[in-house]
Amino acid sequence: MKLAAIDIGSNAARLQISTVLHNDDLVSFKRVEYVRFPLRLGHDVFNFGALTPESEARTTKLMQAYKLLMELHEVEDYMACATSAMRESSNGPEVAKRIEAATGIKIHIIDGRREAELINDVVVHALDDRQYLHIDVGGGSTELNVYVNRQKINSKSFKIGSVRLLEGKETKGAWRKIEDWVEENIDSSQEVTAVGTGGNISKLFNLASKVSESETSRAEIERIRNYIAGFSQEDRINKLRLNADRADVIVPAADIYISVMKWAGADKIVVPDLGLKDGIIQQVYAQVCKRK
């Protein structure tokens, strides 16, 4: 059985198709297709408050392409979710309805809390009984979650993200709100380890020296951030081989991860290869099981 997830973010839209594997009572998901396309919807919404006809047309074409891929893979079920850009767009619901009419793909515009829940459902499996601060930086928002003994203690979504910072459209006082929340919710008497999800931290982690297979230090993330910042946009693309839509947002994203870690007193960060798309796949599987 194959299932699919579509994640329409502020920077890019992703399609992941996974096969469901059964090993006795253990269920796992193996990725068989992954496509990422830089729609950059956040540019429209954070500057103009709405999605432009051009962005709607491009998103419609992309959903048509994703639908064809799902048909070729004979996907049994899927879910499409849109996050910060579309939920803040004044015409987001209308655009989603028109895209559904044109492609048959229903887009669920989810709030920050639901977005965090879907990510948390898969991230929790990468944790042990220590205190963790999960940081998920998207194009338009940042979700923070505190875990102790693999139990979520608190969570909060903030209107600050890589594209929003790049456009200079972060909400007033956003940095201070994050700092205050972290100080209120992290137990400073216990060691805290950060957990990072999102495309930018995955790329930073790939470039960094590792403490282990899935862990590196805050100092190393800072080193890589400063190294990348020393290159022009053109050189980031040609010399560092970053995608154009990654090259301009990776430094603002790094600033969020580093700042939150400093405020929390976290010297280490774990970067599992997980994200919203994996949470959506798990949700789709649960729905399929419920129907059956």
How do residues 23-62 score in pLDDT, each as one tens digit?
888 899 999 999 999 999 999 999 999 999 999 999 999 9
Distances (CA, A) of 282 to 76, 156, 220, 274: 14, 22, 32, 12
The mean pLDDT value for 80-84 works out to 95
What's the pTM value of the predicted model, to 2 decimals?
0.88
| Gap between the Cα atoms of 245 and 37, Å rounded | 9
Cβ atoms of residues 233 and 248 within 8 Å: yes
The confidence band for 126, taking pLDDT boundaries of 50, 70 and 90, is: confident
What is the domain range of residue 220? 128-270
**pLDDT tens track for 139-161:** 999 999 999 998 999 999 999 99
Domain boundary among 76, 110, 144: 110
Pair (202, 155) in one structural domain: yes
Residue 13 has phi, psi (to 5 degrees) of -115, 135
Domain boundary among 59, 82, 110: 110
Pair (101, 144) in one structural domain: no
Pair (175, 76) in one structural domain: no
Tally of domains within the chain:
2
Q: Is 15 inside a domain boundary?
A: yes
Sign of CA dihedral 16, 139, 57, 115: positive
| pLDDT of 131 over the 80 cut | yes
